[in-house]
Amino acid sequence: LCRRVSPTYMRAIGSATASCTAVGSYFKIRSCCFQSSVVVRPPSRASHSHRRRLSTTVMSASQSQSLSSSSAEAYARLSQLRPSFQQTMLRIKNPTASLKFYTEVMGMTHVDTYDFNDMGFSLYFLQSFDEGAKPALEPGSVDAHKHLWSTQGTVLELTHNHEDSGEVYHAGNEEGDGFGHIAFNCDDVYASCKRLEEQGVTFKKKPDEGRMKGLAFAYDPDGYWVEIVPRSDKSEIKQEFNLSQTMMRIKDPARSLPFYRDGMGMTLVRESHYPEANFSNYFLATLPPGTPPPTHDPQDRDASKGYVGALHGPVLELTHNHGTENDPDFKHKNGNEQGKRGFGHIGFLVDDVDEACAAIEAAGGELAKRPEGGKMQGLAFALDPDGYMVEIVKRGGYGDAFQPYK
């Protein structure tokens, strides 16, 4: 949605362009549970005329390239491990301010905490629950760990690095950035934004501003964009807000859609194309067990918008700026580059981490951290087709303490 707020916003959040600055060959990432060296291949600068010529491409999900038989088989094996979208990670500077914003203002529940004092960071996990469904959990307890690593929902992971290096985390939405925003749904965007403003929240865009009325972008304490989106009339959610979306930009839907749909078991629930603005959106969801798949055509605007607007769990919004798939040098920044760190990764629960990693590699994917590597064995980080970090964690954790690592 935020690609269409105004021409200024559209340019600010990254049109189909490959111009950005090299950030060095190697850097260190402090992510959820590991540090690793990752190679950065800075994209070269494509000519403006070349970008305009490429920008007419529209890719329907039904036009996704055919997978090789080996990749299709590997993705089928991966999907049998019941992957479920479990987390989105953002780095934060001040836990007190961020926890207050997401719990007291946005109505989330602080469900769990991990303190890794020896490695100098803490993790805070928050989740949206509807009225009457909030569990009684003490963050840091065994019960909290059990809930966290077996939830059928999706949590927001806030990572705090204890040492204040003076680094200002990058909120994304500058040229070349991949991560865009998270979002919350509500019944009345105007009324909810009025209450947010009364609580001191500032805005990138208020609901009555710009060409797209009725949606807004607020700032969280670290400057991340938080989209405020209306629910559909099919929604039965009673809570004022529910975490509803993580948006990432992708280079090529023909590669990204099979990874998340065929491999990670997500369902394509909405697909929107805007050829006049040169971008498309693909919304994918992990449907809870027993939920029948949608019967509507994902390109049916009204039916798909109504379906997505009634979901309680977040969707993954993949935004494709047309033409990037034809530029061999184009690459989005994934949020872990030096000077651009902010968003860190998304994460999935699976039944078996080793088998999931084997299937990802068999499909031609790469691993940033293998299950047997690092201090925390038993969890892994894969790279999706755009190089975004995807954490792979065992459903239920390990042992009686329900830890995500052995």
Radius of gyration of the chain (CA): 20
From 157, 227, 271, 317, the catalytic residue: 227
Q: Is 132 left (phi over 0), alpha (psi -120 to 50) or beta?
A: left
> Which residue shows structure tokens 């961020």?
98
The vertex-335 CA angle with 325 and 42, nearest 5°, equals 55
> Which residues have a Cβ under 8 Å from the Cβ of 41 and sit 6 or more positions away?
331
Residues 229 and 206: their CA atoms lie apart, in Å, by 11
Residues 103 and 169: their CA atoms lie apart, in Å, by 21
CB distance 219 to 201 below 8 Å: yes
Active site residue 227: yes
In a 3-state reduction of DSSP, which class is residue 122?
Answer: strand
> Which residue shows structure tokens 């979901």?
311
> Which residue shows structure tokens 């009457």?
132
The vertex-26 CA angle with 20 and 30, nearest 5°, equals 100
Catalytic residues: 227
